[in-house]
Structure 1
Amino acid sequence: MSTTLTTVQQPTVLRSSEPASSRNGENDPVLQGIARGDRNGTLKLRGIPSFSDPVAKRQWIREHMAAVFRYFGKQGYVEGTSGHISVRDPIIPDHFWMNPFAMHFSLIKASDMVLVDSQGYVVEGGNQAMINEAGFWIHSEVHHARPDIMAVAHAHSQYGRAWSAFGKPIEMLDQDTCNLYGKISVYDDHGGVALAQEEGRAIANALGKESMVCILQNHGLISCGTTVDEAAFLFYDLDRACHTQLLVEAAAANGLEKKVIPHNIAQYSANSMQSAHNFYNEFQPEFNLIVAESKGEVLQ
């Protein structure tokens, strides 16, 4: 277990006297614009931490992946052996970490993570367990197409699956959905279970160069992030948006008029929230709760 993360983290506030290495995100206007500190400006929000030791970063990645899986388990994103998350390894960039095949998300610990190479084969350095092959084809193609992305999350959530049947994007129906404005794409095809590289490549192409989330027609949702924390928050945000869209469409079908947020307001809201540091921070309350609820087991 990492000795630095055995207790609940307090990631929200730092003082200017702290070392520069811990002050990531202090110059991010989006992150610093969402909270108010002291009059002198010495209190700043923490964003994504940096690491001088790649081994420590690797352990941090596995701990946060495990917490995300347990969070997904709490949200009901488990569907048999489906669902997977990958994060690019900080030491060997063409390798990445994935969850073991057929292990319930709610039981996963940091030590359960599997390290795979660029061809999806399990290698030394992590848990010696099999992975989901469909997950490899989806994730490897996204990682290949988007070197800016460190983490990819995919699951068959109920509301995501339901809305995906329409093969349509979601509308900006509420303030929270504006977190995703301009960052959503739709894969409006379905080639069956992704057991071939071509299907993974088609999903990566649909995601494009700018989107951070994608609705996979007749399939589910996929999200990306600079951190696994960001990918988790965006996945949850998209699934909630799909739920909202379904509820609103049902009400509108019965004669109620829906109001969609205008593009300029949606863009304004997006500009106020879209930041890798901010979306990382959005997940930290859940991370802390998972650590507390598991009594630190998730970090082992």
Structure 2
Amino acid sequence: MAPALLDPAPVAAPAPAAHLKQDLSNLAKSPLQRTYIGNKEGTIHMEGVPQFDDPYKKREWVKEQLAIGFQYWGKEGYAEGLSGHITVRDPVMPDHYWMNPVGVHFSAITTRNLVLVSPDGFVHPDGAQLPINSAGIMIHSAIHEARPDVQVAAHCHSLHGKAWSVFGKPIDIMTQDACLFHDNLAVYESFGGIVLAPEEGANIAAALGPKKNAAILQNHGLLTLGHESVAEAVYLFQSLERLCKVQLLVEAAAANGLKKKVIDDEDAAFTAATLQNPHTIYANFRPEMDLLKFERGHLFL
């Protein structure tokens, strides 16, 4: 008689791992230093935003950063006709700012065709003598006036940012990268047409409030700010653009029954304390800047 087959003994499911809650108490005080390990002697460092004693040297660095930022936008396909602008305060005359000329493709912008804008919104003789975008002046001048802490403002009509903006909602904090925007993202829930009146620029600045560094402009696009460098605003912009794409993909999957999980506020705040630092953001974007210099360095002169 053949032996009877026995049912295998049930195997207990492993207990779920406890949710680890981290804190900053035992970590480096510098957010950038938390992101890398050097040697024991402490002589290997990752550099943050460079500092300048000479405002004229800083001006040249700022203009190169601005040209790199635009060429990166060109590489990413953000160009959209006459739309899109980045402004950065001039280190020599801080009530003036540098800006791209209207009608020049992002990929073709160099330090030589950047325009210096005076406080009254007109082209200054010290920069390129080219026209500038009217809507850009209305938006950026209001932001620079309302936020003296901000050096840079960046706005254009990127594909996924435009698509998500039609919902008039923020993105969900669903991934580590999204923690860049934890308590750091506004939504301007209005669209009054192309921005040709100063009141609309003031409304956008008010929506950002005193501390947020990014905004979704309903039915319009994205806007980001930088405190220390053009790289900061450009990195925040490309991150928000990609996260809008992630959000659209997730919403499509969720519509078919998959449940999305967002990061809780405590974990998001812990991650944001490192990711949102201007020096960490600069270091995150530096590989893209170095690659562009390698590929097209002659175009920045």
TM-score relative to the length of structure 2: 0.89
CA contact (8 A) 1:63 1:298 kept: no
Shift of residue 188, structure 1, vs aligned partner: 0.4
Deviations 1:241-285 (A, max 9, x none): 111100000110111111111111111111122211111111111
- Residue in 2 aligned with 1:17? none
1:94-133 equivalences in 2 (<5 Å) = 94-133=95-134
Deviations 1:149-201 (A, max 9, x none): 00000000010001000001110111111122111010001111111100000
Shift of residue 124, structure 1, vs aligned partner: 1.5
AA partner of residue 80 (structure 1): G
- Residue in 2 aligned with 1:263? 265
Shift of residue 52, structure 1, vs aligned partner: 1.4
Instruction: Report whether the alignment pairs 1:44 with 2:45.
Output: yes
Counterpart pick for 2:295 among 283, 293, 296: 293
- Residue in 1 aligned with 2:238? 236
Instruction: Report whether the alignment pairs 1:165 with 2:166.
Output: yes
- Residue in 1 aligned with 2:202? 201
Deviates more, 1:37-46 or 1:112-121: 37-46
Gaps of 5+ in 2: 1-27
CA distance change for structure 1 residues 133 and 28 in 2, over 3 Å: closer, same or farther? Answer: farther
What is the percentage of aligned positions where both structures have the same residue? 49
Higher Rg of the two aligned structures: 2
Shift of residue 108, structure 1, vs aligned partner: 0.8
Secondary structure, in 3 states, of the residue corresponding to 2:224?
strand
- Residue in 1 aligned with 2:7? none
Secondary structure, in 3 states, of the residue corresponding to 1:221?
strand
1:1-300 equivalences in 2 (<5 Å) = 29-226=30-227, 227-294=229-296, 296-300=297-301
Shift of residue 68, structure 1, vs aligned partner: 0.6
- Residue in 1 aligned with 2:3? none
Deviations 1:182-224 (A, max 9, x none): 1101000111111110000000000111111000000000000
CA distance in structure 1 between the aligned counterparts of 2:123 and 2:218, rounded to whole angstroms: 30
CA distance in structure 1 between the aligned counterparts of 2:46 and 2:275, rounded to whole angstroms: 14
CA distance in structure 1 between the aligned counterparts of 2:29 and 2:230, rounded to whole angstroms: 19
Secondary structure, in 3 states, of the residue corresponding to 2:269?
helix
TM-score relative to the length of structure 1: 0.89
Secondary structure, in 3 states, of the residue corresponding to 1:43?
coil
CA contact (8 A) 1:67 1:298 kept: no
Q: What is the root-mean-square deviation of aligned Cα atoms in Å?
A: 1.0
Shift of residue 28, structure 1, vs aligned partner: 6.1
Secondary structure, in 3 states, of the residue corresponding to 1:44?
coil
CA distance in structure 2 between the aligned counterparts of 1:272 and 1:286, rounded to whole angstroms: 20
Deviations 1:83-124 (A, max 9, x none): 000000111111100001100001111111100101110011
CA distance in structure 2 between the aligned counterparts of 1:267 and 1:110, rounded to whole angstroms: 38
CA contact (8 A) 2:274 2:280 kept: no
Gaps of 5+ in 1: 1-26
Deviations 1:43-91 (A, max 9, x none): 2221111111111111111101001101001111111010000000111
AA partner of residue 105 (structure 1): F
CA distance in structure 1 between the aligned counterparts of 2:29 and 2:57, rounded to whole angstroms: 24
CA distance in structure 2 between the aligned counterparts of 1:264 and 1:246, rounded to whole angstroms: 25
